[in-house]
Structure 1
Amino acid sequence: MQRVSCLLASLLVLLAACAEAADSSGLTIIYSGNLAGHLEPCGCAAESDFGGLDRHAVMLDRLRAEKPEAIAIAHGGLLAHGGVTERVKAEFILQGFDLLHYDAVGLQWPDLVFGRAFLGQVSLPWVASNWRGAEFPVMRLIRRGARKAAFFAWLDPEREPRTGGGNPIYPVDNTLETLAQRLAGAKNEGAMVILATAVHPDHVARLPLSHVDLLLAGTDGPPGEPLRVGKTLVVRPEKWGMRLGVLDLNLDDQGHIADWRHRVVDLGADLGHAPRMFPWYAAYTERVKLANQERIAQLRAKRQGDTGPFVGAQPCRSCHAAPFEAWQKSPHARALPTLEKVNKDFDPDCLVCHTVGFALPGGFVEKGVTPHLAGVQCESCHGAGREHAREGGARIKHLAADQSEPLCRGCHNALHAPAFEFKHARRQGIPCGQKKDEKLP
C-alpha cells in the first residue's frame, strides 16, 4: 500500500510538472488595429454593425476572464482625418482606448494626424521603433510568467508625411539595418518578437523578418487566416476595428511559434455594453451635441430668410409628380427619422448622409430651422434646385447611370452599407434619373 501511495504521489508531481511546462510554453495574444477613427459603428446596416470601443471592452473583458495571462496588442492606426467631428472623436478614442488596458499600441502615421503633442493627453503604451526622440519608446517588453514578448512597431517610410518641399515632418530613422539590430537583440534575450507595421502582407518580405515571430501587417480587407512568411507568422487586423483576433500559441524554448490556433471574434450588437465605458461615452455624446449646438447657433445668425440655393422636394412636385410620389414612399424620405430613433440626429457625421446640403451654404441646419431639407431628397443627387425652380425648369442637371453610382456610393459604401448593389438599387429605386426610353442595366 505504501508503495502504491508513493507511485500515486510521484504521478501527481509529474502531472503537475507537465501542466506547468505546458502553461509556460503557451501564450494567448489578442490583437486589433486599423480603427481609423471609428469610435462606434455606423449601425445603418446590420452587416456593418460591428466594432466600437464599447463592444471592444465587453469582448476584451470576456477574453481576459478566460485567459487572464493573455497579451493585448494593437497594430495602431487608431485615428483618421476627414469627418466633421474628427478631432473631438480622436480625443475620445484615445481616452476610450486607455480604458481597454492594452499592453502595447503601435504608432502608425494616421495617429499623428493632429500632431505628436495631441497624443500626449493620454498615456497609451505607444511604440515607434524607428522614431528619433524620447516621445515614443522603440520597444515594449511584456512579461507573462516565464514568457516575454518584445513588441516593435515600424512606421512605413513609403507612407511618411512630408512638407510641400518634400522634407520629412517627423524625426524617424528609416534604415532597416537599425531595425534588424533591435529585433535581433530582443530575440537573443529569449523574447518572442512581435512587429506591427502598415506594410501590406504582399510586401512584408522587404522587412528584416529573420528575427520576427509574429507580424501584424496592414490591410484594407478582412483579417483572413494567418500566413507564414519564412518562419514569421503574419496576421492582419480587421479594418475599422470591427473584430478582434485571438491567437493561442505554443512556443519553443527560443520563443519561436511552434504551432497556433487562430480565431476572429465579432464585435456585434449582441455583445451589449460595458458599464465601465458608460461615463466615457456619455461625455463623448455631450461633446458632440455641444459642438452641433454651436454650429446651429452660428448658422442661425447667418441666415437671412429662406433664400438659400436648396428648396427641398415640395417645389419639384408640380412638374415631377410621379418621381415625387415614388420618393415620398421611399426610405430616403424617412432618412432623418431613422437617426432620431437611435438618438443620432445631432451627429454631423450622420447628418451628412441623412439630409440635404448639410455643411453646405444654405443646406440643412436642424429640423426646427430647415424642416424642408430633412431626409435624402431630389437635391441630394441633382444639386441645389432654387434657380431651376425659379426659371420653370429651364436648367436641369441630369444624372446618367455612370454618374450616379459614384454619387450613391458616397453614402452607400463599404462602411455604411457593404451589401449595397447599385444595379439592384436602381431597379428598386426612383426612376427620376432615368432618360426617356432608357433601359436600366
Structure 2
Amino acid sequence: MSLGTGSPIRHLGAAICFSAALFLGWCCTESPVQGQGQGKPPGVAAGQGTSSSTPPLSAAQRKVAEQRARAAAGRPGEAFQGWDKPAIVLVLTGEQQGYLEPCGCTENQAGGLARRMDLFHQMWQRGWSTMAVDVGGNLNKDRLTRDQAKLKLDFFRKASQMMKYKAWGLGIEELKLTADNLFALHSEWSVEEGYVPFVSANVTIFGSRDIGMPKEFQIVDAGGVRFGITSIVGKSDPHPDNGVNRIPEFAGVDPNLLKIDPPESVLPGVIQKMKAQGAQILILLAHAGEEESKALAPGFDIVVTASGPEDPVRKEQRVGTTLYVEPGMKGKHAPCVAIYNRGGKPVVGAFELVELDRDRFKNAPEMTQLMRDYQQRIEMERPDSAHEMPFDSAQRDLKFVGVDQCKDCHKQAFEVWKNTRHAFATQSLSHGRADEPKEYVVDRQFDPECVACHATGWHPQRAVRLTSGFVDLKTTPELAGQQCENCHGPGSAHVTLERAFAKDKKVTKELTASREALMNTRDCEDCHDHDNSPHFDFDKYWNGEDGRTPVKHYGKN
C-alpha cells in the first residue's frame, strides 16, 4: 500500500489496534507452551513442583525431557539425530532477502545470522568439519538502491567469513547492484583473508573473465574432499514479482557491462573443467525457477535452488541421483548435508533442514557484536536520511505535530494510549524485549527498518521517513513512540482548524473535510504483518478477548 497516493482506510476501531498489541507484548508475544508454566524448566508442567526432595535430573534425562517438551509443542528436536560422524557437513543457504536477524521482531520467530553462527559452533564442538555456500538473493529486492543495502551486504560479507563460507552465487538482487558496484566490492574485499568470492558460470561483467569476478567456478578442499562449486542465473525467475519474470530486465543492459549466457550452453564445459581439476563432489547454485533448476541437475551431485516456498520441504528431495535442496527464504532454515567417505570415495549422505529456532540455538556473541557495529555505522552514517516521501501526495504541506497537540481535546484516547507499549515503542528499540537476555540486546534506535514501526511519521513497509516525521530522540522527541498520527495521518491542518473552531464555532467545509479525513485510518497490518505479528487478531486486542486488557477507545470524549 502506498501512502504517496492517499492512505488506505479502515474502520475507526483500527486506529488504535497498534496500542493493543504493544500494550500486551513487545510487538507480539507468545504464551508459554501449553502444559508448561512460566519460569519452569522444559518438561515441568504448570503447578508442578521442583522441590529439593526430587532427585536432580542427569544430563541425559534433561536432554530427553527437553526433547519431549519440544515434541509436545510441535517444535523440532535435537539436530542431527542418528547421524554418524561425517567427513564434512555442507551448509547450503540463500535467499536471505535482507533479514540479518530472525524473520520479524517477535521472540518466537526463526532465523537470524547469530543463530546460524551458533549452529556452526555446535557442529565444530562435535568435532565436525563444515563448508558453506550461498545461492545468493541476500538483499531486499525493493531496497536495492538504498545506502543501507550496501551496509547490509558488508554485514553479510563479514558474517560469511566468520562462518567460513567458500562461495556466493549471484542472484537477481546482486546483479541489480550493477557491474560497477559489484566489481568495486570485489576489489575492496578480495584483499582480505577469508574472502568469499562471487561465482557464476554464465555471468560476465565488463566483457571479460580475466578480471577475477565473478569466478567461473570455485575448487575447495575440505574434510578430505575436493568440491567443485559453480552457479548460474537462469532464464526463469525463482520468485517472480507479482508473476512477472524479472530476468528479461537484464536483456537491455549493455553486454559489455553485463552478459548472461544460457545456462545449458556453459555448464557442460564448466563441469568438465571442475572434474579436470579433480573435483569429487559437484555443486550447482541455481538462481532459477524450480523446473529450470531441476532440468540443470544432471552432472551435479547437489543442486541448491533459490526457488521454493519460504518454509521449504523438510524431507530429502532427489532429481535422479542429484540431491535437490531448497534453503527457503529469509534465512529461517539452514539445510545441512553430510558427506561420508565410503570405500575411499566421498558420497552424499544424510540431509536435514535445520530450523534456526530459539529453543536450540543461541545468539553467538561475535555475531551480536557485529550487529552492534552495524548499528553504530547506521548512527554515524545515517544512510538514506535524505530520502523522504509525503504522507499524501495530494496534500504535501501536512505536518506531523505530536501527541501533545492531541491530548487536550482527546483526553480519553490519550489516557488509554499513554499507558500502552505504543507510547514507549521508540525506547524499546534501545532496551529490547522484557524476555530478551541482556547480552542479546542491541540498540537499534537509528535503524530505519526498526524506526519505521517504532516512531511517528514513517512508511512502515518501505522504511522511509515521511515528510516532517521522526528523526531521532534528540531532534524530534515529540514524535517518539507509535502515536495518533501514525494511524490518522499528520495533524497540522486538523489542529489549526479545530483551534479556529474553538474560537468562532464555525463549521467550515475545510473543518468537516479534515475531521472526515482523520476518521480514515491506516491498516494495523502495515506494522503488525505476518513477519512481526504472526498471530495478530484485531478484535481480540481491541476488545480484550482471551484475558487481554481491552484498549478500546474513541476519538471524542
TM-score range normalised by the length of the shorter chain: 0.7 to 0.9
Task: Please list, as runs of the form range in 1=range in 2, the aligned pairs for 1:214-225 lying within 5 A after superposition.
Answer: 214-218=302-306, 219-225=308-314
Shift, 1:425, TM fit? 4.4
Q: How many angstroms apart in 1 are the aligned matches of 2:541 and 2:297?
A: 47
Which of these residues, 240, 249, 252, is aligned with residue 162 of structure 1? Answer: 249
Structure 1 counterpart of 2:132: 72
Shift, 1:320, TM fit? 3.9
**Residue type at the aligned position of 1:231:** T
State whether residues 191 and 254 of structure 1, in contact with CA within 8 Å, keep that contact through their aligned partners in structure 2: no
Which of these residues, 162, 166, 170, is aligned with residue 107 of structure 1? Answer: 170
Structure 2 counterpart of 1:117: 183
Q: How many angstroms apart in 1 are the aligned matches of 2:138 and 2:376?
A: 22
Shift, 1:338, TM fit? 1.1
Structure 2 counterpart of 1:351: 451
State whether residues 332 and 376 of structure 1, in contact with CA within 8 Å, keep that contact through their aligned partners in structure 2: yes
> CA 1:267–1:231 in 2, change beyond 3 Å: closer, same or farther?
same
Q: Deviations over 1:51-76 (max 9, x none)?
A: 12x43333223313325433222222
Which of these residues, 413, 423, 426, is aligned with residue 529 of structure 2? Answer: 413
Shift, 1:102, TM fit? 1.0
Structure 2 counterpart of 1:198: 287
Structure 2 counterpart of 1:391: 497
Structure 2 counterpart of 1:37: 98
> CA 1:295–1:145 in 2, change beyond 3 Å: closer, same or farther?
closer
2:335 partner SS? strand
Shift, 1:309, TM fit? 0.8
Structure 1 counterpart of 2:354: 264
- Which runs of 5 or more residues in structure 2 are unaligned? 1-82, 190-194, 237-245, 387-396, 433-442, 459-464, 499-510, 545-549
State whether residues 98 and 138 of structure 2, in contact with CA within 8 Å, keep that contact through their aligned partners in structure 1: yes
**Residue type at the aligned position of 2:91:** I
Which of these residues, 399, 423, 426, is aligned with residue 333 of structure 1? Answer: 423
Shift, 1:145, TM fit? 5.5
**Residue type at the aligned position of 1:171:** K
State whether residues 131 and 173 of structure 1, in contact with CA within 8 Å, keep that contact through their aligned partners in structure 2: yes
State whether residues 142 and 148 of structure 1, in contact with CA within 8 Å, keep that contact through their aligned partners in structure 2: yes
Structure 1 counterpart of 2:111: 50
Q: How many angstroms apart in 2 are the aligned matches of 1:180 and 1:332?
A: 58
**Residue type at the aligned position of 1:246:** C
Q: Deviations over 1:87-145 (max 9, x none)?
A: 22322322332232212222212123433124312231321111223311121122346
Q: How many angstroms apart in 2 are the aligned matches of 1:40 and 1:143?
A: 30
Q: Deviations over 1:257-291 (max 9, x none)?
A: 56524240426387445455576445323211212
Structure 1 counterpart of 2:228: 150
Shift, 1:386, TM fit? 1.1
Q: How many angstroms apart in 1 are the aligned matches of 2:363 and 2:85?
A: 34
2:261 maps to 1:173: yes
Structure 1 counterpart of 2:217: 139
Structure 2 counterpart of 1:210: 298
* Aligned sequence identity (%): 24
2:428 maps to 1:362: no
**Residue type at the aligned position of 2:124:** R
2:376 maps to 1:286: yes
State whether residues 226 and 281 of structure 2, in contact with CA within 8 Å, keep that contact through their aligned partners in structure 1: yes
Q: How many angstroms apart in 2 are the aligned matches of 1:260 and 1:164?
A: 40
Which of these residues, 122, 132, 148, is aligned with residue 85 of structure 1? Answer: 148
Q: How many angstroms apart in 2 are the aligned matches of 1:275 and 1:46?
A: 18
> CA 1:37–1:210 in 2, change beyond 3 Å: closer, same or farther?
same
Q: How many angstroms apart in 2 are the aligned matches of 1:92 and 1:27?
A: 26
Q: Deviations over 1:167-209 (max 9, x none)?
A: 666222124132244336646866222111232435533x322
Shift, 1:151, TM fit? 1.3
**Residue type at the aligned position of 1:45:** T
> CA 1:211–1:293 in 2, change beyond 3 Å: closer, same or farther?
closer
> CA 1:70–1:411 in 2, change beyond 3 Å: closer, same or farther?
same
Larger RCO (alpha carbons 8 Å, 6+ apart): 2
More helix, by proportion: 1
State whether residues 194 and 215 of structure 1, in contact with CA within 8 Å, keep that contact through their aligned partners in structure 2: yes
Q: How many angstroms apart in 2 are the aligned matches of 1:26 and 1:271?
A: 23
**Residue type at the aligned position of 1:147:** V
State whether residues 127 and 140 of structure 1, in contact with CA within 8 Å, keep that contact through their aligned partners in structure 2: yes
Q: How many angstroms apart in 1 are the aligned matches of 2:482 and 2:118?
A: 35
> CA 1:42–1:353 in 2, change beyond 3 Å: closer, same or farther?
farther
1:77 partner SS? coil
Q: How many angstroms apart in 1 are the aligned matches of 2:196 and 2:310?
A: 26
Shift, 1:420, TM fit? 2.9
Q: Deviations over 1:202-249 (max 9, x none)?
A: 5533x3222122111123411332322232221111422233222224
Shift, 1:417, TM fit? 2.8
- Which runs of 5 or more residues in structure 1 are unaligned? 1-21, 297-306, 435-441
1:414 partner SS? coil
State whether residues 50 and 267 of structure 1, in contact with CA within 8 Å, keep that contact through their aligned partners in structure 2: yes
1:239 partner SS? coil
Shift, 1:84, TM fit? 6.5
2:230 partner SS? strand
Q: How many angstroms apart in 2 are the aligned matches of 1:332 and 1:47?
A: 20
Which of these residues, 151, 161, 173, is aligned with residue 98 of structure 1? Answer: 161
Q: How many angstroms apart in 2 are the aligned matches of 1:37 and 1:282?
A: 17
RMSD over aligned CA atoms reads 3.7
- The TM-score with structure 2 as length reference comes to 0.62
Q: How many angstroms apart in 1 are the aligned matches of 2:318 and 2:349?
A: 11
